[in-house]
Structure 1
Amino acid sequence: MLKNLHPLLNADVLYALRAMGHGDELVLCDANFPADSVARQTVLGKVLRIDGVGTTEAARAILSVLPLDNAVEQPVRRMEIMGEPATIPPVQQELQQEVNQAEGRARPLGSIERFAFYEAAKKAYCVIATGERRFYGCFLLKKGVLPPEA
């Protein structure tokens, strides 16, 4: 254990979050997402895991250390439900709350069609798989920067 770090952030996840640069994206996905096969095509090349929790809890841990990109309007995008792109299920509503809490303001989630999400995921820095069992618990998060200390 380390002080001031969320206990869900294991060494592999911390390495990836630290290694990412401004504008790099990570995939935070549910248990049904093809995490391993997609992760093989990412920059990191292997799937990372935060097991035993859903995407809400994993996002809380990740957002405790990861700055979101302020240079884009929607630094977090959700996978759209097939045939119902405007529907936002509870798992996505919960993630929206985590983003707003971490940012201290409203940062509306963007959305991306399911198959376009898969293509974007292959270009991400890494894939972090969770134990989320609810459908459409898949998100892309874009890393931002930390400003210089005054």
Structure 2
Amino acid sequence: MNKHALINADMNYLAATLGHTDEVTICDAGLPIPAKVKRIDLALTHGVPSFIATVKVWLASSQIEGVMLAEEFVKVSPECHQALLAEIDAEQQATGRIFSIEYISHEAFKLRTHNSRAVIRTGECTPYANVIFKTGVVF
């Protein structure tokens, strides 16, 4: 059994097989997931698991170097957006690295998910609670 927080088998496999610049999407319960992209569906019921809880575990398990968000997230769901930025900031502090953060339209975001190695669906019901992480390297 793993000693770290991530115990989901599909997410562990994903983290172990990612390469530099691969992209992974963590999304709310409503984001459309492209048919040809691997779906890791964690959603149990409304709000479970939460977007932020899933992000925390992913950041503890995978090195990132970039973040992509929908512009609409900032205005429509400011509390969740700020909570995500706090997690990203904590990860930057912990790793001593600065991550690029890019904002694009929600329509462009949905198209970009087609490039993801996987989309991890949460039970989050907060509008625009979605993020694409670009994988970094640990060296």
TM bin, normalised by shorter chain, reads 0.7 to 0.9
- 1:34 deviates by 1.4
- 1:91 deviates by 1.2
Question: 8 Å contact 1:31–1:133 — kept in the other structure?
Answer: yes
| 2:12 equivalent in structure 1 | 14
- Identity across matched positions, percent: 26
Question: 8 Å contact 1:56–1:94 — kept in the other structure?
Answer: yes
Question: 8 Å contact 2:74–2:81 — kept in the other structure?
Answer: no
TM-score (norm 1): 0.79
- 1:124 deviates by 1.1
Question: 8 Å contact 1:28–1:130 — kept in the other structure?
Answer: yes
Any idea what the Cα deviations from partners look like across 1:4-54, whole Å, max 9, x if unmatched?
x115x400011011111000000110011113xx1x223xxx310233221
CA distance in structure 2 between the partners assigned to 1:107 and 1:93 by the alignment: 16
2:70 to 58, 63, 79: 79
TM-score (norm 2): 0.84
Unaligned runs of at least 5 residues, structure 1? 70-74
Count of residues paired in the alignment: 131
How large is the RMSD of aligned CA atoms in angstroms? 1.9
Q: Which one is further off, 51-60 or 138-147? A: 51-60
Higher helix share: 2
CA distance in structure 1 between the partners assigned to 2:62 and 2:9 by the alignment: 15
- 1:108 deviates by 6.4
| 2:49 equivalent in structure 1 | 53
| 2:23 equivalent in structure 1 | 25
Question: 8 Å contact 1:78–1:92 — kept in the other structure?
Answer: no
Higher strand share: 2
Do residues 92 (structure 1) and 81 (structure 2) align? Answer: yes
CA distance in structure 2 between the partners assigned to 1:62 and 1:30 by the alignment: 15
Any idea what the Cα deviations from partners look like across 1:79-105, whole Å, max 9, x if unmatched?
121xxx763621111111111112216
Relative to structure 1, the CA distance from residue 108 to residue 123 in structure 2 (aligned partners, 3 Å threshold; closer, same or farther) is closer
CA distance in structure 2 between the partners assigned to 1:18 and 1:144 by the alignment: 13
CA distance in structure 2 between the partners assigned to 1:77 and 1:48 by the alignment: 19
2:128 to 127, 131, 136: 136
Aligned partner of residue 54 in structure 2, secondary structure:
helix
